[in-house]
Structures are given as structure tokens and as C-alpha cells.
Amino acid sequence: MDSRKFRAMNRRELLKLTPLLALGAFAIPKLQTPLLKAGLGFSDWASARLFRGSHLAPTFADSELTPFNKFPINDYDVDDPQVDFDRWTLTVSGAVQKPGDYTLAQISQLPKITQNTKHICVEGWDVIGRFGGARLSDFLRMVGADTTARFLYVECADDYYESLDMATALHPQSLLCYEMYGQPLTREHGAPLRLTLPTKIGYKQAKYLTDLKVTNVLERVGYWEDQGYSSFYGL
Amino acid sequence: MATATVTVEDAKTGEVTEAVYEHPFIVRFCHWLNVVALFVMVGSGLQIFRAFPSFGAKIPQKDLLNWPKAFALGGWLGGALQWHLTFMWIYIGTGLVYLGYQTFSGNYKQVLFVRRDLPGVWPMLRHYFFFGPKPPMKEAYNPLQKHAYTTVIGLGVLSVVTGLAVWKPVQFSWLAWMMGGFHYARVWHFAIMWAILAFVFGHLVMVALHGWNNFVSMLTGWKKNPEYTVE
């Protein structure tokens, strides 16, 4: 083969690789944000497909529990938002037949579930805790929620807010938690009521709940999600 | 797969050289795509690690190492997770296309370390590290190269499998369980990254030592004056 022909052939082969330059789009600030948002969105879509409502998160023996004093307290601002327990209610609104204010006494009348499950933080650490409370699905039935609605939205005493897909809300291990390690929830851990969701990452498991809404439309997704974290983050 | 060879005749001098088509297009494309994907996965992975640079308890927290932010990608945990959860699809896709192509084209024979390669390991080690003579070569890769490439492809698969256990320790609880639970899946995922980086380091040293002609073959597929004789 003539050397010029050989060089031309080499050039053609090299040019075939040029589609790879499209990855450079990730280096352009204007395109980077939407591209990464799309990538994260695709991961969330895949997460939702992978979620199985009947698949239980592993549970653990009492001997495997992380000692209570070594169960981390994570907040975004204050450990104790000074909830007035005597006047506290959970305000329920949205697509429910019985909206209104629900007391802790009403919630604790629902069958109590106690489970030793793993709490995994987005930072990478994990602990095993003992959580007690009412099934979120039982509570939704009690308030006559439309379970064909897409989301649950919650607000907290410390301005934190979160949302949850309905499939996860109806999961048998998703709890409205009022007990940890057999004791009433402490203020730092979210008294009087928090979410315990063994199929979700830690930041989804909001503390100091004050409001719960059943809805098809989310104005805000969650405190961390609205800053760029995964919206679904199912484990 | 038979390797295509041509003789190239210089238009001016009439000098004749051999050239061999060493790397099919899909392999080259996947190689360079993987360079980018791996770079992003490692960079963002290290930024994610910075959020909790430990494999022990959260309380009390003992950091394993303080990885410098300058050598991480994403700026903060949320940003790094966006990069990681976006490029993991490119990383996995590249791997699947590569493995599929190698398997069905038969080109895997070029890189797969098999029993037949065993006798050639010691002569090659002797050549690299103890000034032994260079063993004659009849194919693109020597036994040590095949061993390195086979191993790193296996590590690539393991990086995905361990990553899946870290990302979905509940849906794939059996996978996490096989690795000793979420906690150890995270340890494995981290360790495998360093093993891949050790390969990358060795690979880059060898590429530098073997010069431009060898490097270009991963771009164009063609290698002039191959060190081996094709049978």
C-alpha cells in the first residue's frame, strides 16, 4: 500500500472517534447543569422502577443495634426546634377524605410496629436503630387518603420539608415513628413524630413533623433535593 | 480473529514497512470513552468519600485520610453525586458494549489471559525486572499484558457490582449481603477503585515507555512496525 493511502486510512480511523468530543458538553457551564440534572433524573427514574413494594429491607437482631448514644443526630439547623408537645398536632391536608389535625394519641392508637432497621446517610455512614411507630399506610387509610395520588409532602417544625412517592409511603416498613429504642422519641431525634423509611436514604426521613399533605403536584421536593440531591433516593 | 496486515511503501523513498490493524474501532471507541467515564467516576467518587472519609463508626468518627478537594470532582457532595449517578450509566454502557463486542467478534482472544499464557509469564517477568532477554512475540499482547487487561476488566465489573450494592442495598440486599452488608460493600467499592488506579498507573508508565507509534495505534487502530510477527 502506498504510504499516502495508508496515512489517509489512519486519518479516517482517527476521525471516527470524533463523536467522543460530544462529552465536552459536560465542560460547558451552561450545558453542564441541565446534563447532570438529566443524568440524576434518569437515575431516579431507574430507582423508581427498581423499587418493589413488597420487598422488605433487612432487619437486625437486638445485639446488632448501634448503641443509642452513638446514633447520630443530623439536622440542617437546630437539634431542638422547641416543639410544644401539649399543643402539637399533625395537620393533614390534600387528597384525603378526613383532613384536619391529628394528635399523637390518635396516631398511637394504630397498630404499633417495632423494627430494627438500618439507617443509611447520604454521606456514607450507616447505623442500625430500633424504631417504633404506626405504619404510614395505616395512617393514610385512617385519614382516607387517595392512595392513587403520586406524592406525600411533609413539613417540619424546623422549616425542613420533604416528599415521598406513594409506593414508598405504602411500604409496610414505612413508619410514622414516635419511639426509638423502646423510649418516646427524644427532641434531637425528631419528637414527637418523625418518618422512618428503611427503603430510603437518611435525608428523606424527616423529623419534627407538623404537616402532611397528599398530592399529585409538588411545589417543592425537599430541603436537600431542591439544592441538587436525588429526589427519589431509594435504597 | 485474523489480524489484518499491510505492507506500506513510502511514496518517496520506496521504503517498505509492515503495519497491523491491532485495535478494532469499537475497542478504541470504548477505550477512550472509558477514559473519560473512569476519570469522572473516580474524581466524583473521591468527593463523595470526602463527605465521610472513614469506614468505621460515625460516633466517634476516625478519618481514614483527608483527601484534598483539589483532586476531587463535583465541588460538594450533592454535585459529586450528580456526576457519579450520571456517568455511571456511561461507564456501565461502555463496559457492556465492549464486553459484548469482544465476546461476539472473538476479539476477546487478544486480551483474555488463559492457561496457555501461563508458561510465558516468567520469561516476561525476567525480561521486565531482571534484564532477561525479550521473549519472541507472536501476538499483540504478551502474557503479562493479557493478565493485566483481564484483571482490570474483572475489576471494572466488580466496581459496578459493588457500586450497585452501595446504591441499592435494600433492593439488591442479597448482593450487599454477599459483600458483608452495605458497610463492607462501600469498603470493597473503595478498594476496587484503588486497584483500578494501580492498573492505570502501570498502564500509563508502559505507554510512555513504548513511545508514540504504540500510542497512536489506540487512536487509529493501525500499528506500524509491530514488535511481533503475525502468523
| Residues A150 and A117 occupy one common structural domain | yes
DSSP codes, A140-199 = HHHTTB-TTSSEEEEEETTS-EEEEEHHHHTSTT-EEEEEETTEEPPTTTTTT-EEE-TT
> Residue B3: what pLDDT?
61
Interchain pair A58, B57: CB under 8 A:
no
Tell me, yes or no, whether B50 lies in a domain. yes
Stretch A207-223: mean pLDDT:
96
User: In whole angstroms, what is the distance from residue B124 CA to residue B141 CA?
Assistant: 11
B13 touches chain A (CB under 8 A): no
| Residues A143 and A196 occupy one common structural domain | yes
In this complex, the residue of A2, A50, A121 whose CB is nearest that of residue B11 is A2
Tell me, yes or no, whether B151 lies in a domain. yes
Interchain pair A10, B29: CB under 8 A:
no
Residue B11, domain CATH: 1.20.950.20
Average pLDDT taken over every residue of chain B = 93
Tell me, yes or no, whether B114 lies in a domain. yes
Tell me, yes or no, whether B59 lies in a domain. no
Q: Is the pLDDT of residue A44 over 80?
A: yes
**pLDDT per position as a tens digit, A61-83:** 999 999 999 999 987 778 888 89
Tell me, yes or no, whether A232 lies in a domain. no
ipTM attached to this prediction: 0.94
pLDDT over 90 for what percent of chain A?
92
Interchain pair A55, B222: CB under 8 A:
no
Interchain pair A3, B182: CB under 8 A:
no
| Residues A31 and A147 occupy one common structural domain | no
Instruction: Assess contact for A117 and A133: CB atoms under 8 A.
Output: no
Residue A61, domain CATH: 3.90.420.10
Longest dimension (CA), chain B: 75
Interchain pair A20, B79: CB under 8 A:
no
- Expressed as residue numbers, the domain containing A14 is 1-50
Interchain pair B222, A234: CB under 8 A:
no
Tell me, yes or no, whether B62 lies in a domain. no
Alpha-carbon gap: A157 to the closest alpha carbon of chain B (Å): 24
Tell me, yes or no, whether A234 lies in a domain. no
B 137-196 residues with CB < 8 A to A? 168-171, 173, 177, 182-183, 186
In this complex, the residue of A3, A66, A71 whose CB is nearest that of residue B9 is A3
B122 touches chain A (CB under 8 A): no
Tell me, yes or no, whether A99 lies in a domain. yes
Residue where one domain finishes, among candidates A34, A50, A66: A50
Tell me, yes or no, whether A100 lies in a domain. yes
Per CB-CB distance under 8 Å, the chain B contacts of A202 are none
A45 touches chain B (CB under 8 A): no
Instruction: Assess contact for A60 and B175: CB atoms under 8 A.
Output: no
Interchain pair B52, A23: CB under 8 A:
no
3-state secondary structure of A51: coil
> Residue B230: what pLDDT?
64
| Residues A183 and A73 occupy one common structural domain | yes
- Expressed as residue numbers, the domain containing B182 is 5-54+68-224
B59 touches chain A (CB under 8 A): yes
pLDDT-derived band at B2, boundaries 50, 70, 90: very low
Per CB-CB distance under 8 Å, the chain A contacts of B88 are 43
In this complex, the residue of B51, B82, B220 whose CB is nearest that of residue A13 is B220
**Closest by CA position to B135, among listed B121, B115, B116:** B121
Alpha carbon distances (Å) from A161 to A119, A152, A213, B10, B163: 19, 11, 11, 72, 29
Residue where one domain finishes, among candidates A50, A69, A85: A50
**pLDDT per position as a tens digit, A104-125:** 999 999 999 999 999 999 999 9
A·B CB contacts under 8 A = 129
Which sign does the torsion angle of CA B105, B230, B30, B88 carry?
positive
**pLDDT per position as a tens digit, A126-136:** 999 999 999 99
pLDDT over 70 for what percent of chain A?
100
**Closest by CA position to A138, among listed A102, A166, A174, A167:** A174
| Residues A76 and A33 occupy one common structural domain | no
Interchain pair A52, B171: CB under 8 A:
yes
Q: Is the pLDDT of residue B1 over 70?
A: no
Interchain pair A13, B25: CB under 8 A:
yes
485474523: which residue's cell? B2
Structural domains of chain A, count: 2
Tell me, yes or no, whether B89 lies in a domain. yes
**pLDDT per position as a tens digit, A156-184:** 999 899 999 999 999 999 999 999 999 99
Residues 6+ apart with CB under 8 A from A125: A72, B52, B54, B57, B58, B61
Residues 6+ apart with CB under 8 A from B228: B136, B137, B138, B139, B140
Per CB-CB distance under 8 Å, the chain A contacts of B10 are 3
| Residues A28 and A124 occupy one common structural domain | no
Q: Is the pLDDT of residue B100 over 60?
A: yes
Tell me, yes or no, whether B35 lies in a domain. yes
Cell numbers of B192, please? 476496587
Tell me the sheet residues that pair with B9: A2, B16
Interchain pair B25, A16: CB under 8 A:
yes
Tell me, yes or no, whether A163 lies in a domain. yes
Main-chain phi, psi angles of B139, to 5 degrees: -145, 175
Q: Is B175 left (phi over 0), alpha (psi -120 to 50) or beta?
A: alpha
Q: Is the pLDDT of residue B231 over 90?
A: no
User: In whole angstroms, what is the distance from residue B123 CA to residue B140 CA?
Assistant: 17
| Residues A72 and A118 occupy one common structural domain | yes
In this complex, the residue of A14, A51, A55 whose CB is nearest that of residue B220 is A14
> Residue B137: what pLDDT?
83
Interchain pair A121, B58: CB under 8 A:
yes
Instruction: Assess contact for A231 and A225: CB atoms under 8 A.
Output: yes
| Residues A14 and A93 occupy one common structural domain | no
| Residues A10 and A69 occupy one common structural domain | no
A235 touches chain B (CB under 8 A): yes
**pLDDT per position as a tens digit, B53-66:** 999 999 999 999 99
Structural domains of chain B, count: 1
Tell me, yes or no, whether A235 lies in a domain. no
B229 touches chain A (CB under 8 A): no
DSSP codes, chain B = -PPPEEEEE-TTT--EEEEEE-S-HHHHHHHHHHHHHHHHHHHHHHHHHHHS--SS-SSS---S----GGG-SSSSHHHHHHHHHHHHHHHHHHHHHHHHHHHHHSGGGGT---GGGGGGHHHHHHHHHS-PPPPP--SSS-HHHHHHHHHHHHHHHHHHHHHHHHH-TTTTHHHHHHTTSHHHHHHHHHHHHHHHHHHHHHHHHHHHHHHHHHHHHHHHSEEES-SS---
pTM recorded for the entire structure = 0.94
Q: Is the pLDDT of residue B142 over 50?
A: yes
Interchain pair B171, A72: CB under 8 A:
no
Instruction: Assess contact for A134 and A146: CB atoms under 8 A.
Output: no
| Residues A62 and A42 occupy one common structural domain | no
Between residues B3 and B72, which one has the greater pLDDT? Answer: B72
A49 touches chain B (CB under 8 A): no
> Residue A75: what pLDDT?
74
Per CB-CB distance under 8 Å, the chain A contacts of B52 are 121, 123-125
Tell me, yes or no, whether A69 lies in a domain. yes
| Residues A148 and A80 occupy one common structural domain | yes
| Residues A84 and A190 occupy one common structural domain | yes
pLDDT-derived band at A28, boundaries 50, 70, 90: very high
Stretch B103-131: mean pLDDT:
92
Tell me, yes or no, whether A134 lies in a domain. yes
